[in-house]
Amino acid sequence: MTPAAAPDAPLLQVGAITKTFGGFTALDNISVDIRKGERFGLIGPNGSGKTTLINCISGALRPQTGNVIFCGEDITQLPPHLRARRGIARSFQIPRPFKSMTVLENLMVGLDFAKVDSSLPEEDVAMSILTRMGLASKASAPTGTLSQVELRKMELARAMAVRPKLLISDEAMAGLSSSEVDEVLDLLISLGEEDITIIMIEHIMQAVMRFSERVMCLDAGKIIAIGAPAEVMGNKRVQEAYLGT
Amino acid sequence: MTKHRNSIVFWAGAAVFLIAVLSMTQIVRNEYPFFAGYVILQFIALAVAWSILGGYAGYVNFGTNAFFGVGVYTAVALFKATGAPLVVQIAAAAVVGMTLGFGVGLLTLRMRGIFFSIATIALAIIIETFVMNWRFVGGAAGIQIQRPPVMAPFDSYVKMLFFVQALLVVIAVSIARYIQNSRIGRGLQALRDDELAAECTGVPTLKLKLVACMISGALISAAGAPAAMYLQYADPSSAFNLSYSVSALAMALIGGTAHWIGPVLGAILLGSTQQLLAVTISSEVNVLVLGIMLVLFVVGAPKGIIGLLRPRYRLRAGGKP
Amino acid sequence: MFSMDLLLGAVVLGVLLGCFYAAVSVGLSVSFGLLDVPHVAHPAFLVLASYGVYQLNESYDIDPLLAGLAITPLFFLFGLLAYRVYYETFERRGSDAGVRGIAFFFGIAFIIEVLIILQFGVDQRSVSATYIGKSWRFGEFRIPIRQLVAFAVALALTVLLAVYLSKTFMGRAIRAVAQDEEALRLMGANPVRIKQFAFGIATAVLGIAGALLIIVAPVEPTLDRAYIGRTFCVVVMAGLGSISGTLIAAIILGVAESIVLTLFGASWAPAISFAMLLGVLAVRPQGLLGR
């Protein structure tokens, strides 16, 4: 079970997890493997359980049954910060910046606590991430002054500061203009090219199609389709879930 | 490095402060300034200690009086049982305060802020009730304390207590400053802004809150420990007086909690005003002024005095040591 | 020392006391439980109401219950104002509302305490009415009539508020705003106005509750401190915002206090509510009885 022993073993294994709130079943026996380096799209109508699933992966919620295995280690019971240190980072559907800090300081939190070995001074590392994200000019701006797209990028940059193996982007493009969507999408794709596995939750279909190597569609807490993007989009149940019947 | 220079300036300042306090005890004959000064120093220590949890982490502790009273009674019980010297009393109070902080933290820091606040009030009342029913330290009636002979170089016990409290202030401030400049401070600030986001960015929020609660509790109890010697008397209702909680909270918030200097300024300003008012008018007006100032600042100047002095003041952005 | 009769007496008195605790807590159940306002000044408002009743009783010899009713509209307006200030300064600006909101109400509580001291002094104050001072005898056991009056009025008040919240349009709107503000906004209602109104109701109830407080026993300016424990204990134990839960939780507290008082003496009584509160927070922060 050591992670190094099996190079083809999935980076993340979600094993039969179920999450209920009161009488409501948000996730019903979900199993999925995410391969190392994969660009994985997660779609589904509102309330289908997408965010609950990534909350279970990132540790904000614990499922009632089932387990989450990351790099061969069972992390089901770990709190979020230990998962972050093992390489799981996320952005939030509604951005959650550290409001009393500047953009640079937001990144420093991740660098301070994620225990990344680096010979460079932390500030230089943070600046290089910001430069990648096109936010270098905003480094010393308070987060309250950022525009919507800058805030989204800042969240991704902060997630990058923990040096993730797996990055989960929760609707990072919601509410952005189409040129901004392309901007963020290009960023995510370029991150995917450097060995970071990415799960992307998105409603904007063109973005999902362009980004994903594989797509999974949830509806009412169940997987209704999983596979190549075109295949999933062509699936009748997916179309029904989206269009309503 | 400016950081390094800041440190030198800070420690030099602390040394100058202590030397000044020490020389004052040697030069000034009249005991009154030390009586009044002790109270102000005590408030500085309390406000700074409070802000480590209340300011940096954003968890409002209403139970300053619990930790203070525990400090007082740890010292009293230890002194009565063993006649231990003041230093040992203070150290013991710090240990007990830290343990208490750990317990309270574990019990309540998983919950939303308001529950923590209410729980700390509860704690104060429960401990006070126990002390009231504890015969060994005098119960509800209180206990007289006979001061031991004063040690050289001091010629009066109050002057010595004044110096000791000044030392506690320096310890409290340097710990607060250390936290503020370390990654602990950054982590606390992050979790105050957004606990879930902090946790997902790798911040061990529960651990940091516990650490803050323990340090804050230890410092408050330590600052309370000499109070029995100062008054030569201790009783539950004054040792656990809720006014310690209001004062610590109000002074820290009025001064501003983004930098350790805020609580210090707040305590000096309000502490001296209180001393003046208590002497000239009445102690009720005194508390009224404190309450009104607190509400005014909380509503009108959320970042406190330091926020007014430097409108764009932020943690770490300061050039001050 | 210990007898079954004594225990039974303690339980009966505890139930009476408990209903009274429900009446003083039910406003907090709305303001804190439903509206999520960190209203630590609730007990201070309560004691202020008692002093209002005292003043009317003392100067004009008005029956304390009528006096309580008379100040109710005043307290309603007071509540509207308090919420407006709270909303404008904290909820609307959002950031850091937690710390400052709590400190705000803490400061208000202290200001009220000191103002009462400055106006009335630190001595205990009580009211006079025909039903105060007499008691009914059942064999060895006596029930003060003032307790019975407080019990009856408290029960009526609590039930009335519960009915109001579940049966009337406004009451349902208040419950809705607690559950899903956004949905209410989409339906065209103004959640802020509803919350303000609810806070007004929660404060208005204190007029009567304050009258009960001073009927049951004399009041002093710092009495609010003991009631921080009692009211929050009841509301948290009840499960935030549950009115029927409030009644049950209050009776549990009343009986517990009454038994401890009988068995161990008065010096342990103040800690009971706080200990129960800590216990509930530690074991089941969502409340024993609630949602």
Higher-pLDDT residue of A201 and B282 is: A201
Q: Which two tokens stand for residue C65?
A: 């219950």
In angstroms, what separates the C-alpha of C69 from chain A's closest C-alpha? 41
Q: Which residues in chain A are closer than 8 Å to C179, comparing Cβ atoms? A: none
Domain assignment present for B263? no
Phi, psi of B317 (to 5 degrees): -80, -10
Domain assignment present for B5? no
Chains A, B: CB contacts within 8 A come to 86
Domain assignment present for C291? no
Q: Give me the residue from B194, B203, B206 closest to A96, CB to CB.
A: B194
Yes or no, beta carbons of A96 and B197 under 8 Å apart: yes
Q: What is the CATH number of the domain that holds C170?
A: 1.10.3470
pLDDT on residue A7: 59
Yes or no, beta carbons of B111 and C281 under 8 Å apart: yes
Q: Give me the residue from A60, A101, A162 closest to B202, CB to CB.
A: A162
pLDDT on residue C10: 85
Q: Which two tokens stand for residue B301?
A: 């100047």
Q: Which residues in chain C are closer than 8 Å to B288, comparing Cβ atoms? A: 111, 114-115, 118
> Greatest CA span in chain B, whole angstroms?
59
Q: Which residues in chain C are closer than 8 Å to B121, comparing Cβ atoms? A: 225, 228-229, 274
| Arithmetic mean of pLDDT, C8-14 | 86
Q: Does C267 touch chain A (CB under 8 A)?
A: no
SS3 state of residue A17: strand
Name the residue type at position C88.
Answer: E
Yes or no, beta carbons of B122 and C107 under 8 Å apart: no
Question: Which residue, among C242, C237, C239, has the nearest Cα to C255 in the 3D structure?
Answer: C237
Contact A93, A86 (CB under 8 A): no
- Report the C-alpha gap between C248 and C244 in whole angstroms: 7
| CATH class of residue range A3-93+164-243 | alpha beta
Q: pLDDT band for B1, please (50, 70, 90 cuts).
A: low
DSSP letter string, B111-165: S-HHHHHHHHHHHHHHHHHHHHT-GGGTGGG-EE-PPPPPPTT-SSHHHHHHHHH
Q: Which residues in chain B are closer than 8 Å to C239, comparing Cβ atoms? A: none
Question: Picking from A79-83, B227-231, C190-194, which range would have the lowest pLDDT averaged per residue?
Answer: C190-194
pLDDT on residue A23: 75
pLDDT on residue A244: 61
CA distances from B137 to B88, B97, C270 (A): 18, 18, 20
- Report the C-alpha gap between C220 and A153 in whole angstroms: 57
Which chains have at least 3 CB atom pairs separated by less than 8 Å from chain B? A, C
Domain assignment present for C288? no
Q: Does A97 touch chain B (CB under 8 A)?
A: yes
pLDDT on residue B315: 42
Q: pLDDT band for B98, please (50, 70, 90 cuts).
A: very high
Domain assignment present for C238? yes
| Residue in A with minimal Cα distance to C94 | A99
| Arithmetic mean of pLDDT, A139-167 | 90
| Arithmetic mean of pLDDT, B180-186 | 92
In angstroms, what separates the C-alpha of B37 from chain C's closest C-alpha? 25
Q: Report DSSP state, residue A46.
A: T
In angstroms, what separates the C-alpha of C288 from chain A's closest C-alpha? 16
Interval A161-189: pLDDT, tens = 988 999 999 988 888 888 888 888 888 88
Q: Give me the residue from C102, C110, C274 closest to B60, CB to CB.
A: C102
Chains B, C: CB contacts within 8 A come to 123
Chains A, C: CB contacts within 8 A come to 3
Question: Which residue, among B97, B69, B54, has the nearest Cα to B244 in the 3D structure?
Answer: B69
Q: Does B19 touch chain C (CB under 8 A)?
A: no
Domain assignment present for B231? yes
CB atoms within 10 A of CB A189: 14
Reply yes or no on whether the pLDDT at B319 is more than 60.
no
Question: Picking from A51-55, A201-205, B59-63, C73-77, which range would have the lowest pLDDT averaged per residue?
Answer: A201-205
Yes or no, beta carbons of B107 and C278 under 8 Å apart: yes
Q: Which residues in chain B are closer than 8 Å to C228, comparing Cβ atoms? A: 118, 121
Higher-pLDDT residue of B309 and B227 is: B227
Name the residue type at position C276.
Answer: M
- Report the C-alpha gap between B212 and B67 in whole angstroms: 14
pLDDT on residue A3: 47
- Report the C-alpha gap between B45 and B220 in whole angstroms: 7
pLDDT on residue C286: 65
Higher-pLDDT residue of C259 and A3 is: C259
Range of the domain at B44: 33-144+152-241
Which chains have at least 3 CB atom pairs separated by less than 8 Å from chain A? B, C
Yes or no, beta carbons of A92 and B197 under 8 Å apart: yes
Count structural domains, chain C.
1
C281 Cβ contact list (under 8 Å, min separation 6)? B107, B108, B111, B115, B118, B119, C236
Most confident of B127-141, C3-17, C168-182: B127-141
Q: Pinpoint the alpha helices (H) of B205-258.
A: 205-224, 227-231, 236-239, 242-255
What percent of chain C has a predicted confidence (pLDDT) above 70?
92
Higher-pLDDT residue of B74 and A203 is: B74
Name the residue type at position A57.
Answer: I
Reply yes or no on whether the pLDDT at B107 is more than 90.
no
Range of the domain at C247: 4-283
Question: Picking from A69-78, B5-14, C81-90, C172-181, which range would have the lowest pLDDT averaged per residue?
Answer: C172-181
Domain assignment present for B267? no
pLDDT on residue B313: 45
Count structural domains, chain B.
1
Q: Which residues in chain A are closer than 8 Å to C93, comparing Cβ atoms? A: none
pLDDT on residue B224: 95
Interval B234-277: pLDDT, tens = 999 899 998 899 999 999 999 998 899 999 999 999 988 888 87
Question: Which residue, among C111, C68, C32, has the nearest Cα to C204 in the 3D structure?
Answer: C68
Interval C233-280: pLDDT, tens = 999 888 877 888 899 999 999 999 998 888 887 778 778 888 888 888
Q: Which residues in chain C are closer than 8 Å to B252, comparing Cβ atoms? A: none
Q: Give me the residue from B54, B108, B242 closest to C281, CB to CB.
A: B108
Reply yes or no on whether the pLDDT at B152 is more than 80.
no
Q: Which residues in chain A are closer than 8 Å to B316, comparing Cβ atoms? A: 105
Interval C198-236: pLDDT, tens = 999 999 999 999 999 999 989 999 899 889 889 999 998
What percent of chain A has a predicted confidence (pLDDT) above 70?
94
Interval C102-161: pLDDT, tens = 889 999 999 999 999 999 988 899 888 888 778 887 766 778 888 888 899 999 999 999
Q: Give me the residue from C89, C111, C232 closest to B288, CB to CB.
A: C111
